Amino acid sequence: MSNTPQKPPRNLSSTSKTIAFWVLVLLVPVAFIQFSNARADARVELNVSQYEQQLDANNVAAINISSDRHVNGDFRQKVAVDGHSGKKFHVLLPGPLTERERDQLRANKVVVASSEAGQSFGTLLIAWLPVILIIAIWIFIFRQMQAGGNKAFSFGKSKAKLLSGDTPKITFADVAGCDEAKVELQEIIEFLKDPQKFTKLGGRLPKGALLVGPPGTGKTLLAKAVAGEAGRPFFSMSGSDFVEMFVGVGASRVRDLFEQGKASAPCIIFIDEIDAVGRHRGAGLGGGHDEREQTLNQLLVEMDGFESNDGVILIAATNRPDVLDPALLRPGRFDRQIVVDAPDFRGREGILKVHLRNKPIAEDVDVVAIAKGTPGMAGADLANLVNEGALLAARRNHDKIYMVDFEDAKDKVMLGTERKSLVMKEEERRLTAYHEGGHAVCAMMVKGNDPLHKVTIVPRGRALGVAFTLPEDDRVSVTREQLEARLVMAYGGRVAEELVFGHDHVTTGASGDIQQATSIARRYVSQWGLSDSIGPILVGDNEQEVFLGQQLTSRRAVSERTAQAVDDEVSRVIQQAYNRAKEVLTTHRALLDAIAAGLLERETLIRDDFDRLLRGEPLAARVEIPTNPPTVPPAAVTPEPRRPAPGLLGGPEPSPA
């Protein structure tokens, strides 16, 4: 598949404006209060006696009398009262001015003014400031709770993102490994561009297409390619975006989503991971989820209800089609179920070519060989393999990515990272060598096993050693012979320990092998119908996980007699494989010793080494690949012709391969 375009940096302008606005809302009242307090601090509070004394002393210049008997005035000279001094004062009169007081004011030439009683703006602001702050804080918190929008009361709006024209486009040329799915989606795009081509023959526009497949196979990437190819409005949304803490929000967002779609018709709506909202109704250990079911019901109505949504095509993706509601999967809603499975050999080759398109690749890189050696890998796995190869080449200071880098990257991805720092005793190394040698001998000598690819006693992942086989071709089914050969190979390690070191010195290293073999043997008997004594019937369940309690009432009852017969048959199949492994290793003990000695010497053996040991020939000398090749060509350092310097084996110095 294609590399995902880099996301643009997050725009923080809206958040910054919001924060600045609320800071301003809080700072303005605070500044006003401080200003009012500063003014109030300069005013002297007087009682009636002090006011009359200042009036008799002819120190009152002007007064302002309100209807509620409050008097604000100015002194001629600054007066100090109770530690406060100032030229302004305030006094509350016991009653209206008498005629004598009026005459005294006129005699002292005091400027008298009057005003109506009322509260100033500052007083009102101070009184209402706590209420304003509470409302502002509540609105701010309410807006922050809405993850999908920046406006209050917008939680019922759709969170769908409309792909704009400046978005980096991914086309079908960037998608490989799923040709059938591309054809199906290409037909939908052609319908949007030229509907007359199909409607003249009586066809109708598909309502929806469901992309189904394992994780990493490219379902979301296909949707991005549809957005790049369609040339029509493309709304993308995740299934979890419908889920909210408020009741009815999911259904509201579904309605708003389709209203946007109808306003931009013809258009495409893409819902990723639709199983988050489209799960089977009524299933669950504690009953159904009412809010999720309301959202699903609204989605069903919008897709194919009383009102038509012509021109709106819904594309969804999921890796759990088994949990979806049947009403969602019927024709008229999702008319097409497009399977996006793991790619085959040709698909893997195309995917690798897409990812290697803009990378410096050495001449020795064989894309076909890499594709053949990666069976079962999905597009995401192959993308990771190419990336690991590039990182490994950079770590080795290579100017290009060589085949050896891809081979080591493949081993790292499929087998695990080497743990060379793990210190093992010599006896443990010898035991591990014979254990892995037992697997190798059984893999080579028992018909039905895949070709042996590599055996190593270097700890990888959680294993102390690995014996790895690779199929030559893609396989869609497994025969009885191949299953029985796998069982023999699985017990080869334990049998080798017992033959070489004795019954009392076997280790716990075969726990993973035993678990794998037991699982194969049980399915061999109870699911695949390969046992002659049990017959071709399904015994018990299919070992799938319980989905929301749906299967609790549908489990098949198995009698004690049948269960005991199955257990006996599983034990027989396992014991038969164990005895066969012992027979093979006893017969080929010399080969086992040779492989173990080779592993102790080199730690890792490859396919050519096994062929030599099988023919009784010694191992070929290993040519080491330089991990730090010179960046300057040798001709630039030594311009005159010279004889090639001998390499590790007496030949020319090897080049990275």
Return the amino acid letter for 606.
I
Integer angstrom CA distances of residue 507 from 281, 333, 615: 50, 57, 31
- Hey, which residues does 315 pair with through a beta bridge? 209, 270
Pick from 477, 655, 469, 480: nearest CA to 577? 480
CB contact at 8 A, 209 and 339: no
Three state DSSP letters for 260-292: HHHHCCCEEEEEECHHHCCECCCCCCCCCCHHH
Which residues are catalytically annotated? 436
Q: Which two tokens stand for residue 397?
A: 């200071």
Q: List the end-to-end C-alpha distance of the chain, in Å, as a whole number.
A: 26
Strand-by-strand arrangement of the 43-45 sheet: 43-45, 84-92, 70-81, 60-66, 111-115
Residue 619's Cβ-side half-sphere holds a number of Cα atoms within 13 Å equal to: 20
Supply 484's token pair: 């029985």
Residue 248's identity, in one-letter code, is: G
The answer to whether residues 235 and 261 touch, using CB atoms and an 8 Å cutoff, is yes
Distance (Å, whole) CA 255 – CA 261: 10
- Beta pairing partners, 463: 460
Strands (E), 135-291: 161-162, 208-212, 234-238, 267-272
- Residue 282 CA to residue 289 CA, distance in Å, equals 8
Q: Report how far residue 559's alpha carbon sits from residue 14's, in angstroms, rounded to the nearest whole number.
A: 67
Compute the distance between CA of residue 576 and CA of residue 134 in angstroms, rounded to an integer.
Answer: 78
DSSP bridge pairs for 468 = 454
Phi, psi of 80 (to 5 degrees): -105, 125
Cα 145 to chain center, whole Å? 23
User: Max CA-CA distance within the chain?
Assistant: 138
3-state secondary structure of 150: coil
444 backbone dihedrals φ, ψ, rounded to 5°: -80, -35
Closest by CA position to 236, among listed 274, 277, 181, 205:
274
Q: In terms of Cα–Cα distance, which of 214, 206, 355, 346 is closest to 268?
A: 206
Burial class (CB in 10 A: 0-12, 13-18, 19+), 524: buried
Residue 205 backbone dihedrals phi, psi, to 5 degrees? -70, 130
Sequence-ordered strand ranges (E) for 295-396: 312-318, 336-339
For residue 266, cis peptide bond before it (omega within 30 degrees of 0): yes
User: Contact, 185 vs 226, CB < 8 A?
Assistant: yes
Phi-psi group of 484: left, alpha or beta (phi > 0 → left; psi -120 to 50 → alpha; rest → beta): alpha
Q: Tokens 């993102």: give the residue.
A: 161
